[in-house]
């Protein structure tokens, strides 16, 4: 049997894709599993060579250390910043997207392009102007500062997504509400928003997770542990002499957990949404 | 009130916000790039001198070269693995939800954490992957990955690809799913094997998804520094020093905001090339 026909045999086999996927799934998930195990090691074990995979004496030492460190405070800060950003994105994004989608006006196409263009500007390019603005406004090292900047990061794309939701929303439902004596604002608040709750929730969750992961602005604009989010807090365990890998792994688990849970539940919808998008494009 | 007026009123808060956080800082960025703004001299008009200095700066070109290697490496690796995984996932009938979930999980890990995790796994003193390399006979001693310029870059590319493969995988998988299955059946009836159907049906029809995925991945890895920051901070010997780190240094370390703004404008220009390509190809199809 020649090489070519052997190769063909491998490609044709029904088992091959399962093997490929199993191997790659293992590689892709291994870092998460490894830090999960690592977070239950003692500091001594976490620093020893050869490294172990499964902790020889599982302990909660690392978690206790995290809870008693300023990192806990940065987790709280992340929660505040991400919630504030999600609220602001929805408060600004819902009316904007609804207005453009259902009551198009002269220049609404241009407005959408403005949003798209904002998405393309690299956030790092605006770092220096933001630095000057926040210094002027005396907002550096405040929650407000990060909430505004994180809203800037998420807002343009979220308007696009929300507009896509509202585009699919039945016009008749709004008209029916208007006939029943609802004002246009009332139809928006009492009909369109509640009936699009699932889509809005998705946008909210994505914004939340996105903000939760943000690092660069947090690094530049926060100075103290009572404001800094956990993406900065995790460096608490990176010392000059030694990196406390077990505690750092525990923080890594804490930081990744919200999104991991979301992805496990939303996996189906993410792929469906993308498939729909791919057909539309 | 006319309907269009009502629509416009609804969008005002959003547009005002966007003007304040995008249009205003953007014009500030351009203005700054023409100023001498370094906290030493009085702020004066500097003409194009910041740009001339940036373009004559050896470290800037080094950082641009590193950025291209980094982003090119990530994109290539991500595309190859993403395509392989998407083609495999489209073929299987059982466990597909399980595999998809496992494969997109790295997406959930913040980039800055991903950098730390890979730094740990590759560490010559405690790293599991480094240990495995010594065990399979790849090297006798643990490899000092972060002390060796080329290896450090490869480490950064691996960590970045790890978080970007899920997106590429899903985009391509979605592209494959939207191909009508009858095309494959017809080809099979005609006796085409899998390699032939892949080359003649899958590849041409998912080209657009691949292109979208490639452009978005390269654009994002071009402009992110999170995982490099947590892995190497640009070292060793500036081997992983990318353009974003260069810009941050001009704000934080050298405090030369005019110079930094010029780098920001150049970065924006380079990203716009990607963006134009994306829009061009999507509109063309």
Q: Report the gap between the CA of A152 and the closest CA in chain B (Å).
A: 6
pLDDT range class, residue A273, cuts 50, 70, 90: low
Residue partners of A194: CB distance under 8 A and separation at least 6: none
Residue B3 inside a domain? The answer is no
B129 and B229 share a domain? Answer: yes
For the ranges B6-10, B80-84, B171-175, the one whose mean pLDDT is highest: B80-84
pLDDT range class, residue A19, cuts 50, 70, 90: very high
Residue B15 inside a domain? The answer is no
Mean local confidence (pLDDT), B112-141? 88
All domains of chain A in start order, with CATH: 3-46 (no CATH), 69-237 (1.10.3720.10)
pLDDT range class, residue A126, cuts 50, 70, 90: very high
Helices (H) and strands (E) in chain A, counts: 15, 0
Is the pLDDT at B181 greater than 90, yes or no? no
| B143 Cβ under 8 Å from any chain A Cβ | no
Residue of chain B minimizing CA distance to A46: B126
B130 and B213 share a domain? Answer: yes
Q: What is the pLDDT of residue A275?
A: 62
Q: B58-95, pLDDT tens digit by residue? A: 999 999 999 999 999 999 999 999 999 999 998 888 88
Domain count across chain B: 2
Residue B79 inside a domain? The answer is yes
Cα–Cα–Cα angle for A37, A62, A250, rounded to 5 degrees: 55
Q: What is the pLDDT of residue A279?
A: 44
The two tokens of residue B117 are 């995790």
Provide φ and ψ at B45, rounded to 5°: -70, 135
The C-alpha atoms of residue B29 and residue B9 are separated, in whole angstroms, by: 29
Is the pLDDT at B224 greater than 80, yes or no? yes
Provide φ and ψ at B35, rounded to 5°: -110, 150
B18 prior amide bond cis, ω within 30: no
Is the pLDDT at A230 greater than 50, yes or no? yes
Q: DSSP secondary-structure letter at B180?
A: -
Are the CB atoms for A221 and B248 separated by under 8 Å? no
B77 and B156 share a domain? Answer: yes
> Which of A150, A117, A196, A21 has its CA nearest to residue B96?
A21
B44 and B120 share a domain? Answer: no
Q: Report the gap between the CA of A215 and the closest CA in chain B (Å).
A: 7
Q: What is the pLDDT of residue A1?
A: 57
Are the CB atoms for A124 and B63 separated by under 8 Å? no
Q: A53-64, pLDDT tens digit by residue? A: 888 889 998 999
Are the CB atoms for A234 and A248 separated by under 8 Å? yes
B90 and B215 share a domain? Answer: yes
B31 and B80 share a domain? Answer: no
Contact B101 A46 (CB under 8 A): no
CATH number of the structural domain spanning residue B190: 1.10.3720.10
Mean local confidence (pLDDT), A30-47? 91
Length of chain A: 281
Give the mutation candidate from A55, A75, A92, A128 for the B interface (greatest B CB count, under 10 A): A128
Instruction: Point out which residues pair with A27 in neighbouring strands.
Output: none
The C-alpha atoms of residue B276 and residue B137 are separated, in whole angstroms, by: 47
Q: A195-204, pLDDT tens digit by residue? A: 888 888 888 9
Cα–Cα–Cα angle for A47, A51, A54, rounded to 5 degrees: 105
Residue B50 inside a domain? The answer is yes
Are the CB atoms for B224 and B113 separated by under 8 Å? no
B151 and B263 share a domain? Answer: no
Residue B143 inside a domain? The answer is yes
Q: Report the gap between the CA of B225 and the closest CA in chain A (Å).
A: 8
B115 and B65 share a domain? Answer: yes
B165 and B35 share a domain? Answer: no
Residue B36 inside a domain? The answer is yes
Residue B124 inside a domain? The answer is yes
Instruction: Point out which residues pair with A243 in neighbouring strands.
Output: A238
Cα–Cα–Cα angle for B57, B230, B274, rounded to 5 degrees: 55
Q: A75-99, pLDDT tens digit by residue? A: 999 999 999 999 999 999 999 999 9
Q: What is the pLDDT of residue A280?
A: 44
B174 and B242 share a domain? Answer: yes
Residue B5 inside a domain? The answer is no
Neighboring chain A residues of B85 at a CB cutoff of 8 Å = 20-21, 24
Contact A248 B4 (CB under 8 A): no
What interface predicted TM-score (ipTM) does this complex get? 0.89
B180 and B106 share a domain? Answer: yes
Provide φ and ψ at A243, rounded to 5°: -105, 125
Contact B21 A267 (CB under 8 A): no
Mean local confidence (pLDDT), A218-238? 93
HEC sequence for B6-50: HHHHHHHHHHHHHHHHHHHHHHHHHHHCCEECCCCCCCEECCCHH
B265 and B216 share a domain? Answer: no
Are the CB atoms for B36 and B43 separated by under 8 Å? yes
With a CB-CB cutoff of 8 Å, which residues 147-186 of chain B face chain A? 162, 165-166, 170-171, 173-175, 177-178
By residue range, what is the domain housing residue B220?
Answer: 59-252
| B89 Cβ under 8 Å from any chain A Cβ | yes
């Amino acid at each position: 049997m020649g090489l070519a026909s052997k190769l063909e045999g491998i490609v044709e086999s029904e088992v091959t894709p399962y093997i490929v996927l199993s191997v790659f799934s293992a590689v892709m998930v291994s870092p998460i599993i490894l830090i999960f195990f690592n977070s239950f090691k003692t500091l001594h074990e976490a620093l020893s060579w050869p490294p172990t995979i499964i902790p020889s004496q599982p302990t909660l030492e690392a978690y206790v250390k995290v809870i008693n460190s300023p990192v806990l405070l940065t987790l709280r800060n992340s929660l505040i910043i991400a919630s504030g950003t999600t609220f602001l994105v929805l408060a600004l994004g819902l009316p904007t997207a609804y207005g453009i989608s259902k009551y198009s006006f002269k220049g609404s196409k241009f407005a959408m392009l403005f949003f798209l263009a904002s998405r393309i500007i690299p956030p790092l390019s605006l770092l220096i102007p933001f630095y000057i603005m926040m210094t002027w406004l005396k907002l550096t090292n405040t929650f407000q500062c990060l909430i505004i900047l994180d809203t800037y990061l998420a807002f343009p794309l979220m308007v696009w997504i929300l507009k896509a939701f509202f585009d699919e929303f039945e016009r008749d439902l709004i008209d029916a509400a208007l006939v029943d004596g609802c004002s246009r604002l009332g139809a928006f608040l009492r009909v369109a928003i509640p009936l699009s709750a699932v889509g809005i929730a998705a946008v909210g969750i994505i914004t939340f997770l996105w903000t939760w992961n943000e690092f660069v602005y947090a690094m530049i604009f926060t100075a103290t542990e009572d404001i800094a989010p956990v993406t900065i807090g995790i460096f608490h365990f990176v010392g000059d002499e030694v990196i406390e890998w077990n505690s750092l792994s525990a923080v890594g688990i804490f930081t990744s957990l919200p999104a991991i849970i979301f992805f496990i539940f939303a996996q189906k919808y993410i792929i469906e949404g993308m498939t729909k998008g791919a057909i539309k494009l | 009130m006319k309907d269009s007026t009502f629509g416009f009123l609804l969008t005002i808060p959003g547009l005002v916000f966007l003007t304040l956080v995008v249009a205003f800082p953007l014009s500030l960025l351009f203005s700054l790039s023409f100023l001498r703004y370094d906290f030493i001299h009085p702020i004066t008009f500097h003409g194009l001198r910041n740009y001339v200095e940036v373009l004559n700066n050896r470290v800037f070109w080094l950082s641009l070269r590193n950025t291209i290697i980094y982003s090119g490496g990530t994109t290539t690796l991500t595309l190859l693995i993403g395509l392989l995984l998407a083609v495999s996932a489209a073929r299987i009938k059982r466990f597909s939800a399980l595999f998809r979930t496992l494969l997109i999980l790295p997406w959930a890990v913040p980039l800055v954490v991903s950098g730390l995790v890979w730094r740990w796994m590759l560490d010559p003193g405690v790293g599991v992957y480094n240990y495995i390399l010594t065990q399979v006979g790849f090297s006798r001693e643990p490899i000092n990955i972060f002390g060796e310029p080329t290896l450090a870059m490869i480490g950064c590319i691996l960590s970045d690809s790890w978080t970007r493969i899920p997106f590429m995988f899903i985009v391509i998988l979605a592209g494959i799913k939207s191909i009508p299955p009858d095309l494959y059946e017809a080809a099979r009836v005609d006796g085409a094997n899998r390699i032939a159907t892949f080359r003649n049906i899958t590849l041409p029809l998912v080209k657009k998804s691949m292109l979208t995925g490639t452009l978005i991945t390269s654009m994002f890895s071009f402009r992110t520094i999170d995982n490099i920051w947590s892995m190497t901070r640009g070292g060793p010997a500036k081997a992983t020093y990318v353009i974003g780190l260069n810009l941050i240094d001009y704000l934080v370390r050298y405090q030369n905001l005019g110079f930094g703004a010029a780098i920001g404008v150049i970065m924006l220009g380079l990203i716009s090339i990607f963006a134009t390509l994306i829009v061009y190809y999507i509109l063309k199809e």
